[in-house]
Amino acid sequence: MIVTAPHTRVARWPAVRPWLGVAVRLGLAAVWLVAGGSKVGDLAASGRAVNAYQVMPYDLATVIGAALPFVELALGLLLLVGLATRLSAGISAALLVVFIVGIVSAWSRGLAIDCGCFGTGGELAEGQTPSYLPEILRDLGFLALAGFLLIWPRTPVSVDGWLAGDASVEDEDE
């Protein structure tokens, strides 16, 4: 008896993986563009959101908070066009780990804050309950996307592929 289904699935991966990579790259780009875009209009609020985590001096927190939206927008744009994808994925992964650790730290210390991931964030009003677990799970999902791009950074319809002269990235084995 010959079973061919596993072979067919394995044979499809090289054809599907590059296009799945495009979806992953564009999805992570959208995350960074929305996150950065939601904060860039009020850099002071972004600084206050970082300060709400109570892990660094206020002045440093406000500088990091003011810079973070621009880093997120830059990552989003790089991923959108597919330029320096592995580097952008690596920086994305590092940022996401920092965000996850920050949320876990705030949760474990009993702080009642909004993470500020897609907006101004900061301390919650009296009686409001933080939603740390969904934020952590969401960021772990984004981290998985970044991990995919760390392993398979070159995708069709990208500057990386164009610069490498790739008409197709199906044979890539990075």
**Over the stretch 105-155, which tens digit does the pLDDT of each residue have?**
999 999 999 988 888 788 888 888 888 999 999 999 999 999 999 999 999
Q: Check residue 171 and give its pLDDT.
A: 46
Angle at 115 between CA 141 and CA 44, to 5 degrees: 130
Distance in angstroms (rounded) separating the CA atoms of residues 102 and 107? 9
What's the predicted TM-score (pTM) here?
0.86
CA 166 to chain centre: 26
For residue 165, the 8-state DSSP code is: T
Grade residue 83 by pLDDT with cuts at 50, 70 and 90: very high
